Structure 1
Amino acid sequence: MTTTPDATTAAPVVRAGSAPRHATRPPAHRRPPLGRLVGKALLSLVALAVAVVWAFPVYWMLISSLLPNVRLTSGAPTFWPTRGSFDNFGAVLDSGSFVPALRMSLAVTGLTVVAALVLAFLAALAVSRFRFRGRRSFILAVLIIQMLPAEGLFIAQYKMLSSTQLLNTVIGVSVLYAAAVVPFTVWMLRGFVAGVPAELEEAAMVDGLSRTQAFVRITLPLLAPGLVASGVYAFLQAWNEFTVALVVLPADSAKTLPVWLRSFVQTSASREVDWGQVMAASTLLAVPVIVFFLLVQGRMTSGLVSGAVKG
């Protein structure tokens, strides 16, 4: 009598051309080579050292703003603000000239950012989406304008604002700042506009939207990161600019913060620079930039695909 093996004792059937399942399974825990671990550790140490070198001036400015000038001018450096105070910040705010300079910088920077974004956005749309006579000449002119040194235009800019009674005014400085920022902003936005296919608007128009509605609902959300990035560039250029403001704002009553900081350093009656107050003023000058970045950093990457997909 012959017996047949039951299902529990039958040998597994291996198909032709296939290997056992356990033979191709990768090892569960495979450690990377020692050399790779050492290389990653060295790169991490180098990155940490670069970060410390980059952040140390900011840290030194902050701790110096909390120390009196006597300790800052002593021979022994202080790396921790023991017994520090906010007296330097109080002296800067009580000087009477900081608030007008802050108001002037905010007004100039705001007008520059708005004007630069509007003009550069329209120019980038025209260059990227339309073919017209003089298009290449316009692009070449934008490149040539960027090559001109700013110092070579000081006399012409001063005479232009003087003849139009715009010296020591917010509008005059904003016009010069916007003219300096627009060329590079056009190139930035041109890349973003060229990266958005025109077929998205055409598909929206097929669905019943007008050209304006298709642009506002589809294209504009996709261009939001480019507008934010261009706005950040325009903000930094206008907020930190010093030389043009020094030329076209000769009056003491009309100064932006960088020019005010220079005059604030030089107004000491004893000819001794109070570095604690200078560092406090520099910290206050950097606060609006930090606030601006905190407001826009979440929008730098948002809107990349919003509006491109319906439903």
Structure 2
Amino acid sequence: MSSSIRPPGRRSLKPSSWVWGAVGLLVAAIWVFPVYWMLNSAFLPNLTLQAGTPTFLPFGGSWDNFRAVTASGSFFSALGVSLAVTSITVVCCLFFAFLGALAISRFRFRGRRGFVLALLLVQMLPAEGLFIAQYRMMASVNLLNSVIGISILYIAAVVPFTIWMLRGFVAGIPVELEEAAMVDGLTRTQAFMRITLPLLAPGLVASGVYAFLQAWNEFTVALVVMTSDSSKTIPLWLRSFLQSSASRETDWGQVMAASTLVAVPVIIFFLFVQGRMSSGLVGGAVKG
């Protein structure tokens, strides 16, 4: 009789739970498989990849594709350009978007509704329709093939949506928290820095992630204004591996190796901001 007594705290899983768990694992495997295939192909020679039978494990693989990708030095040049452009874009977007979101969420001023409407209208403009104007504008101020020039274009494209994203986070924080802190003797600036800003950390991180991905992966604008070989960004550099100049065929091993190298900074960035997001949530909860 004692063996039939179920220990406290343990529950038997329903059959539906097993089914949904299996479905979740299947979806996760389908989602992860392209990433695994990229990593697997990066270690295999091109002849193996072009064979009729697919190779699912990199047995007999090597680092030759990675050595070939980094041998010319163009990778490090493109990496430096992309890191500079992305850093400028993220910092400037967070600064301007933070001020804009704070203004439309905390203050009432003339033209506020028109400003919010303009943010929505800007998002409706097709990027392709601005290429000619952007090229002529950059050419008129001698900013073609420059980090500053393309950073300005990226900031202008990313800031409107970033303001709209941060606006929801700012509006979700009650203004009474700042008023209570001011009653306790803090100034408005001190109340904002000590109470509201820590609570905004998750929103700033989310907006920074969006700005980072937009600047890091952008291709079409860079293709228009970054025409010099020495000023290529990472997406433009990756495009150069589609066809080799000698055989005029795609070396898929090098393409996959190059794609893996391009993904490494993104992974590092996400690992970094994930910890900052968690600390921001905890810190904001304590201070609130």
- TM interval, shorter chain, is over 0.9
Q: Residue 150 in 1 paired to residue 127 in 2?
A: yes
Superposition CA RMSD, Å: 1.9
Letter in 2 for 1:175: I
Partner of 2:3: none
Residues 64 and 206 (structure 1), Cα distance of their counterparts in 2 relative to 1, 3 Å cut: same
Q: Deviations over 1:163-207 (max 9, x none)?
A: 111110001111111111111111110011011111211222222
Separation in 2 of the partners of 1:39 and 1:233?
36
CA shift, 1:309, in A, is 5.2
Q: Residue 60 in 1 paired to residue 37 in 2?
A: yes
Letter in 1 for 2:248: R
Q: Residue 37 in 1 paired to residue 20 in 2?
A: no
Letter in 2 for 1:149: P
Letter in 2 for 1:290: I
Unpaired runs of 5+ residues, structure 2, are 1-5
Aligned pairs for 1:1-311 (under 5 A) are 37-304=14-281, 306=283
Q: Look at both structures and tell me which one has the larger radius of gyration over its CA atoms.
A: 1
Bigger helix fraction = 2
Residues 247 and 31 (structure 1), Cα distance of their counterparts in 2 relative to 1, 3 Å cut: same
CA shift, 1:265, in A, is 2.5
Give the % identical residues.
71
CA contact (8 A) 1:113 1:235 kept: yes
Q: Deviations over 1:97-118 (max 9, x none)?
A: 1000000000000000011100
Residues 307 and 59 (structure 1), Cα distance of their counterparts in 2 relative to 1, 3 Å cut: closer
Residues 103 and 309 (structure 1), Cα distance of their counterparts in 2 relative to 1, 3 Å cut: closer
Letter in 2 for 1:186: I
Separation in 1 of the partners of 2:37 and 2:233?
24
Residues 61 and 30 (structure 1), Cα distance of their counterparts in 2 relative to 1, 3 Å cut: closer
Separation in 2 of the partners of 1:79 and 1:308?
47
Separation in 2 of the partners of 1:272 and 1:222?
53
Separation in 1 of the partners of 2:10 and 2:144?
69
CA contact (8 A) 1:92 1:281 kept: yes
Structure 1 segments (4+ residues) deviating >4 Å: 27-33, 307-311
Separation in 2 of the partners of 1:30 and 1:310?
34
Separation in 1 of the partners of 2:243 and 2:76?
18
CA shift, 1:306, in A, is 2.8
Separation in 1 of the partners of 2:139 and 2:9?
74
Separation in 1 of the partners of 2:177 and 2:11?
46
CA contact (8 A) 1:249 1:255 kept: yes
SS for the counterpart of 2:229 is coil
CA contact (8 A) 2:194 2:287 kept: no
CA shift, 1:46, in A, is 1.1
TM-score, normalised via structure 2 length: 0.93
CA contact (8 A) 2:242 2:249 kept: no
Separation in 2 of the partners of 1:54 and 1:189?
29
Q: Deviations over 1:257-276 (max 9, x none)?
A: 00111123334321021111
